[in-house]
């Protein structure tokens, strides 16, 4: 017999919808790091990312009965997180001038550092600040693609848009980052 931790996301959601809190706990433990990382890049603040991630998981649990198992749990979950993050950004009313905090949570090993003259933390700061200067939708598409390895179709499902719109968002977002990096001499 399978352990509960071996169940798929869809199976856990089905159990959770019928009141099994252990299933919901396992789902949260499985997804809290990716969701937090996504929100931290969207919002630029660890504390706000924590707050919105908790709200995301609360909604996941309280709306579990609305989820239709279809193998697209990740899209569904990140759609909740993305919508909450964009609402949060709208409430701030300073969409393009978000100040990113610099709290470091994980430090890469020397081997994993790219071959750049910039120190890792400085590079990280450049990346986060550059992300904060593009539109929230471009940022969302870029983060889902580059940090969560989503396909264009999955990003389209998550953002409720078309694959060609995703391609356009990514193209414009990457161009904006490239110009930002050039202006700040992040790469030669």
Q: Which of residues 91-110 bind another protein (CB under 8 A)?
A: 105-108
C-alpha atoms less than 13 angstroms from C-alpha of 149 in its C-beta half-sphere: 1
89 interacts with another protein by CB under 8 A:
no
Q: Does 37 bind another protein (CB under 8 A)?
A: yes
50 binds another protein (CB under 8 A): yes
| In contact, 52 and 82? CB cutoff 8 Å | no
| CA–CA distances in Å: residue 143 to residues 1, 12, 76, 109 | 37, 26, 16, 22
Contact 84, 93 (CB under 8 A): no
Minimum CB distance to another protein, residue 47 (Å): 7
Q: How many residues interact with another protein (rule CB under 8 A)?
A: 50
Number of Cβ atoms within 10 Å of the Cβ of 76: 20
Return the biggest CA–CA distance within the chain. 58
Closer to another protein by Cβ: residue 7 or 61? 61
DSSP secondary structure string, 59-71?
Answer: HHHHTGGG---SS
Interactions with another protein, residue window 122-161 (CB under 8 A): 123-124, 126-128, 142, 145-147, 151-152
Q: Which residues bind another protein (CB under 8 A)?
A: 21, 24-25, 28-29, 32-34, 36-37, 40, 46-47, 49-50, 53-54, 57-58, 61-62, 105-108, 112-114, 116, 120, 123-124, 126-128, 142, 145-147, 151-152, 167, 170-171, 174, 177-178, 181, 186-187
């Amino acid at each position: 017999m399978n352990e509960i931790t071996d169940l798929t996301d869809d199976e856990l959601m089905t159990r959770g919808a019928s009141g099994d809190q252990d299933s919901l706990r396992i789902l949260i433990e499985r997804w809290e790091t990716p969701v937090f990382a996504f929100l931290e890049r969207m919002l630029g603040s660890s504390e706000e990312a924590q707050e919105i991630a908790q709200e995301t998981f609360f909604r996941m649990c309280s709306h579990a009965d609305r989820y239709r198992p279809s193998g697209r749990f990740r899209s569904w979950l990140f759609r909740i997180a993305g919508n909450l993050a964009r609402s949060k950004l709208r409430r701030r009313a300073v969409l393009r001038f978000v100040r990113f905090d610099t709290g470091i949570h994980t430090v890469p090993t020397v081997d994993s550092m790219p071959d750049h003259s910039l120190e890792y933390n400085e590079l990280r700061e450049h990346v986060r600040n550059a992300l904060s200067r593009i539109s929230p939708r471009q940022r969302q598409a870029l983060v889902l693609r580059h940090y969560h390895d989503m396909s264009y179709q999955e990003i389209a499902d998550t953002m409720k848009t078309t694959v060609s719109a995703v391609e356009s968002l990514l193209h414009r977002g990457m161009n904006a980052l490239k110009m930002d990096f050039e202006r700040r001499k992040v790469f030669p």
